[in-house]
């Protein structure tokens, strides 16, 4: 193929790693896309800028399938917006973020999508959206059809948080069926609400409903039970289903067993569930680690990590929720009131890379699948998650052997803490390229302005992953 003269950018000297393999190669970029991935023995084509990646890995820009950006959840407003969250994402090697359009009380799912897409116009990187359905009525099916026409084919369902966002089992069934008809897939937060409410009541009666005892208020059994129920519904209607932030080996095993039966079922986990455990709740600031589901026992974390290392976990989502220490501590005596969630859109790559690749020996190809490729496929985002001719020019250059101590002073999220303070992490990007623009390099961040596109999801057909 003939290349334009000159190319906008060449990335040379590095090892290009895709989910399907790796090779030494030169990546040629023009007009926001990969023009060629050529043999490194060939002379560099004429170019405006060169990035020397000698001795480093070149991987696809990350696709974070699970971000909450500037949302109000319960009493608390998250502290970031699309400008700051997308900037932090780029610093961390994520070039596409998928946010949630969760309706406010009285707001329709479609109106929530339209409102949040308008907000995303300020983003510094590409964005996509999940819709959210709380209650099925005679308009919901048409709204799902319209959302699909607008390029939103993933819908979030919660099986917990009664009187807020919880969807009843009949709503789950109807949404799964409607999404299947419209080429989409449900993203399910699976915890059995009746088990959680009872555990919370027991904790409250014993004065143990504070942050230090958070893990006891949302037991592993609740997650496993809800996953089994939703899988049965998906199998009944023949629809695909994706489980967000899975934390237990048993839940992952349920999904994998269903997939062997022919159910299109997929597992996401988060870096904090692979790296941290419930001992964080015994420290000086347990409230900083309150998230739902909670951090699990060390043995559970090890078992989950083992499933990830053998390929039973499909994607890595940050479940980014940006609160600060004042918000987290205000009601730390009551986990039913205090905000839950951890800041993580910027640290997703180094935390997971350290735990899975450096410590666990995961092949980088498998890591790339979890970090970018699978999330792109499961969200219908064509051109993302791969370095190949015609794909979007989203690239991350990193030295797999270099480490850096994580500290909030060096991060860019709108919060005053990180759960990984003082941890020595590998996998930090040295160069980040988003849609062909160098946005992070040795000189720092180069703000591209509000250039992020609202991506339209293509229909999500068949078994996308093995």
Which CATH architecture does the domain made up of 9-59+389-401+427-444 adopt?
A: Roll (2.30)
User: Taking a C-beta distance cutoff of 8 angstroms, is the pair 389, 36 a contact?
Assistant: yes
pLDDT of residue 461: 66
- Location of each CATH 2.30.40.10 domain in the chain: 9-59+389-401+427-444
Total Cβ atoms within 10 A of residue 284: 5
Q: Which CATH code for domain 61-378?
A: 3.20.20.140
**pTM of the predicted structure, to 2 decimals:** 0.97
pLDDT of residue 2: 61
Say what percent of the chain tops pLDDT 90: 97
- Location of each CATH 3.20.20.140 domain in the chain: 61-378
φ/ψ of 95, rounded to 5, equals: -110, -5
Residue pLDDT tens, the chain, 466 long: 566 679 999 999 999 999 999 999 999 999 999 999 999 999 999 999 999 999 999 999 999 999 999 999 888 999 999 999 999 999 999 999 999 999 999 999 999 999 999 999 999 999 999 999 999 999 999 999 999 999 999 999 999 999 999 999 999 999 999 999 999 999 999 999 999 999 999 999 999 999 999 999 999 999 999 999 999 999 999 999 999 999 999 999 999 999 999 999 999 999 999 999 999 999 999 999 999 999 999 999 999 999 999 999 999 999 999 999 999 999 999 999 999 999 999 999 999 999 999 999 999 999 999 999 999 999 999 999 999 999 999 999 999 999 999 999 999 999 999 999 999 999 999 999 999 999 999 999 999 999 999 999 999 865 556 5
């Amino acid at each position: 193929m003939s290349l334009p003269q000159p190319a906008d950018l060449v990335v040379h000297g590095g090892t290009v790693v895709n989910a399907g393999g790796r090779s030494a190669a030169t990546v040629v970029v023009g007009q926001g896309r990969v023009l060629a991935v050529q043999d490194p023995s060939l002379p560099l084509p004429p170019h405006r800028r060169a990035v020397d990646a000698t001795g480093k890995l070149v991987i696809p820009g990350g696709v974070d399938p699970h971000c909450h950006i500037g949302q109000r959840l319960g009493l608390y407003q998250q502290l970031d917006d699309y400008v700051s969250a997308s900037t932090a994402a780029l610093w961390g090697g994520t070039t596409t973020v998928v946010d949630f359009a969760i309706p406010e009380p009285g707001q329709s799912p479609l109106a929530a999508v339209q409102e949040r897409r308008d907000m995303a116009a300020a983003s510094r990187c590409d964005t996509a959206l999940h819709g959210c359905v709380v209650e099925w009525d005679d308009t919901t099916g048409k709204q799902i059809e319209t959302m699909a026409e607008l390029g939103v084919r993933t819908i979030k369902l919660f099986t917990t948080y009664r009187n807020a966002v919880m969807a009843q089992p009949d709503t789950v069934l109807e949404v799964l069926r409607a999404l299947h008809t419209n080429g989409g897939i449900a993203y399910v937060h699976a915890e059995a609400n009746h088990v959680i409410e009872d555990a919370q009541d027991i904790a409250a009666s014993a004065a143990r409903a504070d942050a230090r005892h958070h893990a006891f208020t949302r037991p592993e059994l609740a997650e496993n039970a809800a996953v089994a129920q939703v899988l049965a519904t998906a199998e009944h209607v023949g629809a695909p289903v994706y489980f967000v932030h899975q934390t237990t080996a048993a839940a992952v095993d349920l999904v994998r067993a269903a997939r062997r039966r022919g159910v299109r079922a997929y597992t996401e986990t988060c870096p904090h569930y692979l790296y941290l455990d419930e001992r964080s709740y015994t420290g000086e600031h347990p409230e900083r680690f309150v998230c739902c589901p909670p951090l699990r026992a060390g043995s559970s974390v090890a078992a989950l990590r083992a499933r990830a290392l053998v390929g039973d976990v499909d994607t890595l989502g940050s479940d980014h929720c940006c609160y600060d220490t004042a918000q987290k501590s205000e009601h730390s005596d009551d986990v039913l009131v205090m905000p839950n969630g951890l800041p993580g859109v910027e640290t997703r790559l180094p935390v997971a890379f350290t735990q899975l690749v450096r410590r666990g020996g995961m092949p980088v190809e498998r890591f790339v699948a979890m970090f970018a490729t699978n999330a792109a496929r499961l969200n219908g985002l064509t051109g993302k998650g791969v370095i190949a001719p015609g794909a979007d020019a989203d690239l991350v250059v990193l030295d797999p052997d270099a480490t850096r101590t994580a500290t909030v002073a060096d991060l860019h999220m709108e919060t005053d803490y990180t759960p990984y303070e003082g941890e020595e992490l590998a996998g930090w990007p040295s160069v980040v390229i988003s849609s062909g623009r160098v946005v992070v390099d040795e000189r720092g961040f180069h703000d591209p302005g509000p250039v992020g596109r609202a991506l339209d999801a293509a229909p999500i057909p068949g078994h996308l992953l093995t």
